[in-house]
Structure 1
Amino acid sequence: MESGRHCLAKTLVCHLWSAISKALFAEFLATGLYVFFGVGSALRWPSTLPSVLQIAITINMATAMVVQVTWKASGAHVNPAVTLAFLVASQISLPRAVAYVAAQLAGATVGAALLYGVTPGHIRETLGVNVVRNSVSTGQAVAVEVVLTLQMVLCVFASTDSRQASGSPAAMIGVSMAVGHLIGIYFTGCSMNPARSFGPAVIVGKFTVHWIFWVGPLTGAVLASLIYNFILFPDTKTLTQRLAILKGTTEVETAVGVEPQKKESEPSSGDIEMESVGQIA
């Protein structure tokens, strides 16, 4: 009997580790690809300087691509701000959120390093590091990043909420990223994603006003999470349930195209409830 329980526990741990490691690799891969293509579209080639529209379209397609590829594996957050938003919404545990952010930052750094390595020296310059335009104040830059990220995270929640959405959210999240870049490029180069700003900054060693690209997006993400999950479409989780999810003792099985289970009974001893949480950019 004791041996049977030990085998069952070992099997559950193996399944759990397999799922978590796959999700972390998905976040690493998606963020690396997003940074490679997104930042790459902004490089200034003398023969053909990139237009704002070209960058926005590339960001749109790159976002849709990485979300479509990895959203079933990890929820395709691809963005520490999105991960924080889902943490505030009690749709991901704190340990998993921390692991996701670490994977995203690592992926962004590798993606930026790869781009740096394949780009000629006179082209890569500062490698698309986000900077505040001369005519824009620090306060204005933060405010712009808050608004841009807020609309994107609201779109993420709306397009991954199983109560009102179905199918892949890739297209709509890509559109929200493009909308943000069509305006944000004129102010801050448009971050909306701390990992996107972090990767190139690490590679070229340029961290001037880097804090803006953390404070703005993270603040916008928290506001969007509160607006969507507590005002527009509040859920029924109790405080006890939220604390259990935060600690990782109870996992969530909502969002990202996964239909909620109809029965509310406790899972059997052989079941594992895994998080399937939503997305990007």
Structure 2
Amino acid sequence: MSPASPVLHYGLTILEGLKAVRNKNNEALLFRPQDNAKRLSVSAERVCLPSVPEELFMEGLRELIHIDREWIPTAEGASLYIRPFVFATDACIGLRRPEEFMFMIITGPVGKYYSEPLSVKIETAYTRAAKGGVGYSKTGGNYAASLYPAEQANKDGYDQLLWTDGVHHRYIEESGTMNVMFVIDDTLVTPELTDSILAGISRKSVLTLARDWGMKTEERPVEVEEVIETLKNGKMTEAFGVGTAVNIAPIAAISYKDSKRLLPAISTWKTAPKMAAALEGIKRGTTEDKFNWIVKM
């Protein structure tokens, strides 16, 4: 690859993330991979990269899983992480729509992302994504921009950040590299999708399951003040991140400015544990896949 390639200078790269697990019949199971293909195309359009046809995306997954099948771990909670990505390869240092690019998929065995419930900080100084920007797409620059604030939060004893909007830092958007959900007054509440929030596949799946169970859900703006107030008055009973890497990540404490608020003991939670078990069961083929989310390879 040329050292003048736009991916090295302008960050012209997009990515996806999904996992493969084995069922009792030694089949490889993938969770909603077609959704990853569709989202990759959304990201491609935003940064002027060509879209990868879904057929090619799926064929690439099948061929690589066939080769790497024995790398799929069998340990509890473990899986084979799969990273499809596209990047510009033109031998040109000029900033323009790339004419040459490469689509690749790599894999690697992984265990659980978090071993303990999270302590998070509401971030009001740094911005993950701005209105009109690329926050809704999975582009390399999104993640690079979040590293320094996350590192500073880690130094202060936090596991992750709760990102807020880039205009007023008034509304909750995401948590680290996850979508975030709250249980408030027995309602599952999550920030509505905007152009600065990623349309998570796990997020969509959690909302589908909750509605199927008859649970009330709301996708709407979630103000920082609402989060703090409902923590104070006890109306918020659960908070958790959702994403491919983490599945369901319980949040035990939320800090804002100089105040730290604890969620109720996780042993009292109802929604997040049930959701984690349901998703894990579907992904591993041990419970019914009534929505036809699983693809066997």
TM-score by length of 2: 0.28
TM-score by length of 1: 0.29
Higher strand fraction: Structure 1 or Structure 2? Answer: 2
Greater RCO structure (CA 8 Å; 6+ sep): 1
